[in-house]
Structure 1
Amino acid sequence: MSLPSKAFQHWLHGIAPNTSTADVCRSSGVKRTTLAQQLVRGKVAESSLVSISRAFDVNPFDALAHFEAYAALRGTPVPPTDAELVSQVSTMDMLRAVVDRSEHPDGLRTLDLAGTPHPSSVRNWVDAIDDGDLRHRVSDAVGIAPQNFSAYLTSNRLPPELALATSREAGVGPAGGLVASGLVTEAEAGWPSGARLDALNRLSDGELALLAGERLQAFGKSLRRQEHELDRTQRIWDNLA
């Protein structure tokens, strides 16, 4: 999904009425040729809108809601569930939390969590809201093959239209996937400051340990795949030498 160029230009005129396209691109970091190509094609990427919004002190979440395709973002924000919040805690931070609890079982937990997104944020978010059939419902809703949907999750990417469809099919607020994919930040999506840490601290010791174990296992599998790929690549180069 992308934004209609006419609607985008109307929006841009509203926030920067006397600013040239060159100045818009210079301020936002969007390449002038890139934006020009998008306008000619009639489809402006959401990432361009987000960059321009930030450059002109406009909340990208609100800017997206201006467009009909993102009407789901309008109105009172739907708070993320604890499962969504915890999904956006990185594996390393989760392991640190396990150690912190073992060393300070009765202490106040104030870990300095890394920002979003993290290396498995998209897959973890989908896993957190999946009732067992979510992937197939999303695939049917947007007309994408399940294996292609899975490929996005493996690469920790999620196009905005898939993020919204996944939220809708899971019955959660529309912001989670946009945060997990890195299109908008937690603050831009209206997530309360410290919400991820609060949700992490609400996990019992057992819940935290089990979840950290699952994350570590998934991390190990990912590392093994990378090692196999590197080994296979090296063998190819050795044979060519």
Structure 2
Amino acid sequence: MKNILIVDDHLQITEVLKEYIIKEGFSPIVAFDGQAALDAFSSHSIELILLDVMLPKLDGFDVCKKIRETSNVPIIMVTAKGEDYHRIMGLDIGADDYIVKPFSPSEVMARVRAILRRIERTDENQQTMKQLTYDNLIVYLEEKKVTIEQQEILLTKRELELLWLLLANREKVFSRDNLLDSLWGIDYFGDARTVDTHIKRLRAKLDEAAHPNWEIATVWGQGYKFEGKNEK
């Protein structure tokens, strides 16, 4: 049974989410503060985290950063802060999705199901395709690793999936909606700006090493593509 970690200091919210998670056939694990969340994550096999931002001891952003140092487990940030910069901050530090309070537990579970289905599809695809290479870029799916000129570039699971999709379909232009459907799922409730944020973060990480012969290109009015210098 898959473990879902709920991190929230409001007992009423955790009880409601626990009930829905159990109905979905998952096993809920609850932490009421940031440090307890890290302890629970280190001592259990966790498939997905529902992570509140406002927490005692360590806030959700700090928890997300610490987990991203060692794991690409899916993280859905849950926050009462609806301002764009809070949502962007969560995505920037590696969260896969966000939900703003007050929320519908049914919506939360729809997003959980969508992310877990996407992971299952990705894992199935990885059974037949293990590695992609272009110029000085190598993407190793089994190892969840990316290198440029043998320098490892640390990406989150979502960033690696985004790079893989673009590289595997080199020169194909993906609209924001295409990318949302392919990586977030057709029942994703967020908006297209999520794609822009992930593209920006992916580019910044890839730019840690020189890659003059290729780029993640913006095709104005259409979307994004992996573009090779000799294929323009």
> Could you say whether these structures have the same fold, taking a TM-score greater than 0.5 normalized by the shorter chain as the test?
no
Where is the strand percentage greater, Structure 1 or Structure 2? Answer: 2
Q: Which has the higher contact order (CA 8 A, sep 6+)?
A: 1
